[in-house]
Amino acid sequence: MTDTIKRRITGQHFIDGAWTGQADAFNSFDPVTNAKIDWQFANASETEVAQAATAAHAAFTQYRSKTPAQRADFLEAIAGEIQADIEAITAAAHRETGLPMARLQGETGRTCTQLKLFATRLREPLEPRFVDLANPQRAPLPKADTRLSVLPLGPVAVFGASNFPLAFSTAGGDTASALAAGCTVVVKGHPAHAATSELVTRAIEKAIERCDMPQGVFSLIQGSTPQVSTALVTHGAIKAVGFTGSLRVGRILSDLCAARAEPIPFYGELGSTNPQFLLSGILSAQAEQLATTQVQSMLMGHGQFCTSPGVVVAQKGEALNRYIATMTENLASLPAAAMLTPGIASTYQAQLEALLNHSAVTLIAQGQSAEAGHHTRPSAIRVSADDYLVSSELQQEIFGPCAVLVECENQAQMLQIANALEGQLTATIHGNEEELAQHPELIEAVAYKVGRIIFNQMPTGVEVCHSMNHGGPYPASTDSRSTSVGSDAMKRFERPICYQNMPQTLLPDDLKTDNPKVISF
């Protein structure tokens, strides 16, 4: 399979319907063997970035006029073409990320489900459309006919994530939701899975032909330097950005977008510590089970999920001691493993080392010693609530298989921790129904810190559905008003428009009086 892939990969960019560029800049990398793969890729020049953005701008005037049904067909065609090439796509992703095949097959399925969810929403809109009817008799001035709809923002730049080579990358949630909204897309492929990006782009290319879409509706530019990203987000034709990645890079790009002559929305899904609050009753009854689930969840994808549970908040005592004992036992047997990229591994190592050297921190347990230098060990540490509250360095996300247990003196201190949290993608409250009812203040405090509040479940495994919210107050995301998962994600790339006194025959279909979603006033 690897040879087949090598024959298929050009290493080029896909710009305005053509494959272009010199594939001599960087190689794919196998994080498991810690060695380069002989798949080579181009690094986009400023000119190539501008070509992709300009093509997206030109295609926008055609693509925005496609009906919702035509866009839905296109999204479904992309899903179909990905499914048709799933073997090569998952093999490439497996080689480039080291993630297990089963996980990658699941992620491919999720990517296709996501494309189809937006198609469903385009075919059966869920949003009302407000129409205020004219009233020529109104005094002192007649009332005009006004009708509220939405328009797509324009070309969108998408930055794929290292940890989800399919569902949050080339044809992932950002691309799918932008295309659903009527926007054209330029993807900057993540260098950690450039071949996967190219194969997925091939699937999109086929769907473009099959659905007779404008060539520039989707472009892929490859790159391994920050200059490519900077050139893309600062190009005048780009009207919004979708990004999944680190706070550090996300903030740099976000600042660039805000400083443009025309500032544009930047949707960065940046990460989170996803705190787990364990109330006393449930902890006492299920300490061992909770600890086992915690370790399982924090080990998913070797801790490289943005919803990985990196903080546990609980009250000291006998039950917590049992929790810690089970955690220790579960962790101790775990092997060290490779991470997604050498950069992620070394950042994890450095953050973990700083944590272990922190005077307030006690080690709970670590997994087995690393056999290879690029392997990292699952780890859990503990710290008192008092120390946690005054040490912002303990509150930062550590991207990888690590959890910080915050030991509280009492339930009041758990509330204090909740109130001191930074913005989070998720947090979970574990408690039996009776004790949950006794902690309305804690529930409310947690809700105001998160995009998704969970009860008695782990945060990993974000459902693709209409009611999902994957986002949260800064620094979990750069724009808490938006979600990057779920069908509402397409709202990020729309803006309202009011049509006043427009002749009935010229009105967009969704605003005609016979549309069942119209609410007239």
Contact status: 285 vs its own copies (CB under 8 A): no
Contact status: 456 vs its own copies (CB under 8 A): yes
Candidates 436, 442, 476, 490: give the one binding its own copies (CB under 8 A). 436
Contact status: 293 vs its own copies (CB under 8 A): no
Alpha-carbon Rg for the chain, nearest whole angstrom, is 25
With CB under 8 A as the contact rule, which of the stretches 87-95, 331-339, 401-409, 451-459 interacts with its own copies? 451-459
Q: How far apart are CA 353 and CA 403, in angstroms?
A: 13
Q: Which candidate in 107, 269, 407, 494 is catalytic?
A: 269
Candidates 335, 393, 461, 513: give the one binding its own copies (CB under 8 A). 461
Beta strand extents in 88-170 (DSSP E only): 129-132, 146-152, 156-159
| CB-nearer residue toward its own copies: 128 or 343 | 128
To its own copies, the closest distance from the beta carbon of 35 in angstroms equals 33
In the chain, the N- to C-terminal Cα span, in Å, equals 61
Contact status: 450 vs its own copies (CB under 8 A): yes
Candidates 293, 475, 484, 490: give the one binding its own copies (CB under 8 A). 475
- Contact mark string toward its own copies, 489..508, x via CB under 8 A: -----xxxxxxxxxx-xx--
Q: How far apart are CA 119 and CA 129, in angstroms?
A: 19
64's tokens = 């925005």
Q: How far apart are CA 246 and CA 475, in angstroms?
A: 10
Which residues between 201 and 260 bind its own copies (CB under 8 A)? Answer: 254-255, 258-259
- By C-alpha distance, which of 159, 156, 177, 164 is closest to 228? 159
The site for its own copies, by CB under 8 A, has a size of 72
Contact status: 488 vs its own copies (CB under 8 A): yes
Q: Is the CB of residue 449 less than 8 Å from the CB of residue 424?
A: yes
Q: Give phi and psi for 312, each to the nearest 5.
A: -125, 130
- By C-alpha distance, which of 207, 406, 379, 410 is closest to 299? 379
With CB under 8 A as the contact rule, which of the stretches 39-47, 128-136, 207-215, 389-397 interacts with its own copies? 128-136
| CB-nearer residue toward its own copies: 265 or 275 | 265
Q: Which candidate in 112, 306, 402, 408 is catalytic?
A: 306
- DSSP string of 1-15? -HHHHHHH----EEE
Q: How far apart are CA 236 and CA 232, in angstroms?
A: 9
Residues 6+ apart with CB under 8 A from 150: 494, 495, 496, 497
| CB-nearer residue toward its own copies: 64 or 316 | 64
| CB-nearer residue toward its own copies: 503 or 516 | 503
Residues 6+ apart with CB under 8 A from 118: 72, 75, 176, 177, 179, 180, 487, 490
Contact status: 453 vs its own copies (CB under 8 A): yes
How many C-alpha atoms does 370 have within 13 Å on its Cβ side? 14
| CB-nearer residue toward its own copies: 157 or 203 | 157
Amino acid at 515: N
Which residues between 18 and 37 bind its own copies (CB under 8 A)? Answer: none
Q: Give me the helix-helix angle, 173-181 and 101-123, nearest 10°.
A: 10
With CB under 8 A as the contact rule, which of the stretches 169-177, 210-218, 345-353, 439-447 interacts with its own copies? 439-447
To its own copies, the closest distance from the beta carbon of 143 in angstroms equals 7
To its own copies, the closest distance from the beta carbon of 335 in angstroms equals 24
- By C-alpha distance, which of 431, 17, 484, 468 is closest to 217? 17
Q: How far apart are CA 251 and CA 162, in angstroms?
A: 17
Candidates 68, 281, 317, 473: give the one binding its own copies (CB under 8 A). 473
Contact status: 442 vs its own copies (CB under 8 A): no
**If DSSP codes are grouped into helix, strand and coil, which group holds residue 88?**
helix
Q: Is 112 a catalytic residue?
A: no
Contact status: 514 vs its own copies (CB under 8 A): no
Q: Is the CB of residue 517 less than 8 Å from the CB of residue 510?
A: yes
With CB under 8 A as the contact rule, which of the stretches 162-170, 219-227, 347-355, 452-460 interacts with its own copies? 452-460
| CB-nearer residue toward its own copies: 506 or 516 | 506
- Contact mark string toward its own copies, 43..82, x via CB under 8 A: ---------------------xx-----------------
Q: Is 96 a catalytic residue?
A: no
| CB-nearer residue toward its own copies: 101 or 497 | 497
- Contact mark string toward its own copies, 152..181, x via CB under 8 A: -x----------------------------
| CB-nearer residue toward its own copies: 80 or 106 | 106
Residues 6+ apart with CB under 8 A from 203: 78, 81, 82, 84, 85, 89, 171
To its own copies, the closest distance from the beta carbon of 146 in angstroms equals 4
Active site residues: 269, 306
